[in-house]
């Protein structure tokens, strides 16, 4: 009995007649022919002698060579070897110890990668050795992992960093160590002859001083730590989508998590832009795994985040929380951009299909992310922007979203953005399925996701737009006395912009307590460098020049404070925002409120007119009359209550709460009222006069 294995009639094997194998089946005998093979799916053997060589063939090399600006001839190029040498020379200079006058020996590539079995002809070593070698650090190479891709950084994180896992959605889950948030009390800025005059110091300021010597001590400590490692990650990227005013930034870090985070948050250069990158405008040394010396002058803990604006450098010691890098660079932009007459803003920004741009300011819990993410509009950015002569531009290349209680239903765009390439900080997930539980606060309540902005479906790329048409200041007023929307004049805009008000809801473990007013200058006091009135004056100037209108929108309570009133419905707030975008709210009739002197519309389409003026939410006196209850009937009264929905119990309680909030505004503004703008101080007086009067 014969079988045709390849269908060509040639016998390849047969079952021997009468020959039985051990298992009782007929024994198979093969008939090998010298001129033929036993199968027809063969291919040319791989060009590799070892498994390592085979793995090396799997990866395609990508090192484009492009014309260099200013080179002679249209096709003048720089070789790959020269380009690599220049990059490494620049990185070595960044890692230089100033006391030893030289940088370390640097070489590109992962030190763990095997090369001993690869033929010498296939190996290309790109390294740079300084001319002066007068320290022990000169005896070793520091391997540079330069601008790695997300896939490469995943491999590094999972292999070498404990607490790094791939979640079910493809995101990289990481841990930031003991610190799960920023450390504002450990942030220092070098105070020198220039910054002493230019920056905002003293009461209310986020800027805590340090001297040049202390900065250099910490810088040396960070650089020595990074140079002691076998490998460091280096990211060369950009800030600001406005090509005329972008900054080149270099981030040197010890963790793949930090490198991937900044890959997402900064603007990613093209290969061509990377070749011409040159010397960075600002450098971050992130040695967060290594503590600062607590005996060093100005140090109050083992954590220190230091800015030296003259040297254009930032040093991080004692904290692995990645947000320090993002917000540190934001602080730098708050210093550098106003020097170019560009206003840096802590805001969300979107643009309509007709080209109308809106800025959204608001502290945590005000709905800034929710309201700036609109499926009918394109997202320019969610957090940091510049407003210059060319219009608005996003500072960043990514988004840094809160994840606590995240769901597909509440925030579908953010939920769907958590995929391969996204960094998930400090989240909790199922050990088997790797499904993330966004409600779990076991590690921290400040769980975060960092992802490129193009992961948002309606993101506008490039992230730039024309001059804003509307400036929206969001406040979650838990006192329940601010109107749902009011139109602001320029002086009021500056006053409320400087105030940066919202209210936090107190804990309820021991019953309902009073809400707490929170003020953050310019809606981002922790990051501003100059006095708030300087940013406010720039905002008013640009609004006046380009015809923008400002609005104060309350997304908090109405008809009573937290615990007695009700939260203004999101649907009503969205209707108000829609009316602002469309321009219809500008055409509405307005009336003025008491104390705060706000202009409020008498009607907004889709919003109950009764809630537009907080005074109207005070309960009617006759509703307590038994006579009217009989005459009007219970059902009618219930209907009226539901219609109003939000009602204060009496006029006295409303008035007392209104005056209380006004007093808190006034007290908060005292620290700003003493700052003089201009020789005659008229602008300061106008801003103060725009506050509550009582």
Query: How many CB atoms within 10 Å of residue 156?
Result: 22
User: What is residue 88's predicted lDDT score, i.e. its pLDDT?
Assistant: 87
Nearest to 47 by CA among 109, 122, 113: 122
Phi, psi dihedrals of residue 283, rounded to the nearest 5°:
-130, 135
CA distance linking residue 694 with residue 691, whole number of Å = 10
How high is the mean pLDDT in each 10-residue block of the chain (694 residues)?
47 53 58 48 62 67 43 51 84 82 78 54 49 56 94 97 97 95 95 97 94 96 94 98 97 98 98 92 97 88 96 97 97 98 98 97 90 94 97 97 94 96 97 96 95 97 98 96 97 97 63 76 97 95 98 94 90 97 97 96 95 78 40 44 53 92 96 74 84 94
β pairing state of 357-361 and 468-475: parallel
Q: Assign 215 to helix, strand or coil.
A: helix
What kind and span of H or E run contains 335? helix 323-339
Structure tokens at 500: 């940066």
Q: Which stretches does DSSP call E strand in 510-641?
A: 516-519, 549-554, 557-558, 566-567, 590-592, 599-601
404-412 long-range Cβ contacts below 8 angstroms, 24+ apart: 404/438, 404/439, 404/441, 404/445, 404/446, 404/447, 405/438, 405/439, 406/438, 406/449, 407/438, 411/369, 411/370, 411/373
What single-letter DSSP state applies at residue 669?
H
CA distance linking residue 94 with residue 236, whole number of Å = 12
Structure tokens at 215: 């900065």
Q: Assign 417 to helix, strand or coil.
A: helix
Q: Quick check: 383 and 375 in contact, CB under 8 A?
A: no
What single-letter DSSP state applies at residue 31?
-
Nearest to 677 by CA among 473, 472, 491, 468: 491
Edge-to-edge strands, sheet with 172-174? 165-166, 172-174, 423-425, 448-452, 398-402
User: What is residue 18's predicted lDDT score, i.e. its pLDDT?
Assistant: 56
CA distance linking residue 120 with residue 111, whole number of Å = 17
User: Among all residues, which ones are annotated catalytic?
Assistant: 182, 327, 346, 364, 368-369, 383, 448
Q: Compute the half-sphere exposure of residue 210: CA atoms within 13 Å on the CB side of its CA.
A: 28
User: What is residue 313's predicted lDDT score, i.e. its pLDDT?
Assistant: 98
β pairing state of 423-425 and 172-174: parallel
User: What is residue 118's predicted lDDT score, i.e. its pLDDT?
Assistant: 40
β pairing state of 172-174 and 165-166: antiparallel
CA distance between the termini of the chain:
110
Q: Assign 380 to helix, strand or coil.
A: strand
Find all residues with CB under 8 Å of 624, minimum gap 6, and list them.
Answer: none
User: What is residue 543's predicted lDDT score, i.e. its pLDDT?
Assistant: 98
User: What is residue 512's predicted lDDT score, i.e. its pLDDT?
Assistant: 37
Find all residues with CB under 8 Å of 246, minimum gap 6, and list them.
Answer: 238, 239, 240, 267
β pairing state of 13-20 and 436-437: unpaired
Structure tokens at 360: 């959204």
Locate all alpha helices (DSSP H) within 13-123, ordered by sequence. 51-58, 80-94
Exposure letters 348-366 (e unless 16+ CB within 10 A, then b): bbbbbeeebbbbbbbbebb
Q: Quick check: 169 and 436 in contact, CB under 8 A?
A: yes
Q: What is the number of residues in the chain?
A: 694
User: What is residue 307's predicted lDDT score, i.e. its pLDDT?
Assistant: 98
Phi, psi dihedrals of residue 345, rounded to the nearest 5°:
-135, 135
């Amino acid at each position: 009995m014969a079988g045709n294995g390849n269908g060509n009639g040639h016998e390849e094997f047969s079952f021997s007649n009468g020959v039985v194998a051990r298992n009782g089946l007929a024994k198979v005998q093969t008939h090998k022919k010298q001129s033929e093979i036993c199968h027809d799916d063969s291919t040319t053997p791989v060009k590799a002698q070892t498994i390592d060589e085979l793995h090396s063939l799997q990866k395609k090399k990508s090192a484009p060579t492009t014309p260099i600006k200013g080179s002679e001839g249209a096709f003048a190029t720089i070789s790959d070897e020269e380009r690599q040498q220049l990059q490494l020379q620049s990185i070595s200079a960044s890692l230089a110890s100033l006391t030893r006058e030289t940088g370390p020996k640097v070489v590109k590539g992962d030190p763990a990668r095997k090369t001993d079995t690869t033929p010498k002809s296939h190996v290309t070593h790109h390294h740079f050795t300084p001319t002066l070698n007068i320290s022990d650090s000169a005896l070793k190479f520091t391997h540079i992992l330069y601008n790695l891709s997300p896939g490469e950084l995943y491999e590094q994180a999972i292999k070498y960093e404990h607490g790094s896992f791939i979640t079910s959605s493809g995101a990289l889950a990481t841990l930031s160590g003991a610190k799960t948030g920023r450390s504002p009390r450990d942030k220092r800025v070098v105070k020198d002859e220039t910054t002493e005059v230019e920056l905002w110091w003293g009461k209310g300021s986020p800027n805590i001083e340090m001297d040049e010597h202390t900065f250099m001590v910490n810088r040396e400590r960070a650089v020595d730590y990074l140079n002691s490692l076998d490998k460091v990650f280096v990211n060369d990227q950009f800030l600001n989508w406005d090509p005329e005013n972008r900054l080149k930034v270099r981030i040197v870090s010890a963790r793949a998590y930090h490198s991937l985070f900044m890959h997402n948050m900064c603007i990613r250069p093209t290969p061509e832009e990377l070749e011409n990158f040159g010397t960075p405008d600002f450098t971050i040394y992130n040695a967060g795994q290594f503590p600062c010396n607590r005996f060093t002058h100005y140090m109050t803990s083992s954590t220190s985040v230091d800015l030296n604006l003259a040297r254009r450098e930032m040093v991080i010691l004692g904290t692995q929380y990645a947000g320090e890098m993002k917000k540190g660079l934001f602080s730098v932009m708050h210093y550098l951009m106003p020097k170019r007459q560009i206003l840096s803003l802590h805001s969300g920004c979107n643009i309509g299909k007709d080209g109308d741009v809106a800025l959204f300011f608001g502290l945590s819990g005000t709905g800034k992310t929710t309201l700036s993410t609109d499926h009918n509009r394109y997202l320019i950015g969610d957090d940091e922007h510049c407003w210059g002569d060319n219009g608005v531009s996003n500072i960043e290349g990514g988004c840094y979203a809160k994840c606590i209680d995240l769901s597909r239903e509440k925030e579908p765009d953010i939920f769907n953005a958590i995929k391969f390439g996204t960094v998930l900080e400090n989240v909790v997930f199922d050990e088997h399925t790797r499904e993330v539980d966004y409600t779990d606060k076991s590690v921290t309540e400040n769980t975060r996701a960092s992802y490129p902005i193009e992961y948002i479906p309606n993101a506008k790329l490039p992230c730039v737009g024309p001059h804003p048409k509307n400036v929206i200041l969001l406040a979650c007023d838990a006192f329940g006395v601010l109107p749902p929307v009011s139109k602001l004049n320029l002086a009021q805009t500056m006053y409320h912009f400087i105030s940066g008000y919202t209210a936090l809801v107190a804990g309820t473990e021991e019953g309902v307590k009073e809400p707490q007013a929170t003020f953050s200058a310019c809606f981002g006091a922790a990051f501003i460098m100059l006095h708030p009135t300087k940013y406010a004056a720039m905002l008013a100037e640009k609004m006046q020049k380009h015809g923008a209108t400002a609005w104060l929108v309350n997304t908090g309570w109405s008809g009573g404070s937290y615990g007695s009133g009700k939260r203004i419905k999101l649907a009503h707030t969205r209707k108000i925002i829609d009316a602002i975008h469309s321009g219809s709210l500008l055409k509405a009739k307005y009336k003025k409120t008491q104390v705060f002197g706000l202009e409020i519309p008498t009607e907004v389409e889709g919003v109950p007119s009764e809630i537009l003026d907080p005074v109207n939410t005070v309960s009617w006196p006759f509703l307590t009359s038994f006579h009217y209850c009989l005459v009007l009937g219970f059902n009618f009264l219930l209907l009226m209550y539901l219609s109003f929905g939000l009602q204060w119990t009496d006029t006295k309680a409303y008035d007392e709460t209104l005056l209380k909030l006004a007093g808190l505004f006034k007290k908060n503004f005292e620290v700003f009222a003493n700052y003089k703008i201009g020789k005659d101080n008229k602008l300061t007086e106008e801003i103060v006069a725009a506050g509550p009067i009582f």
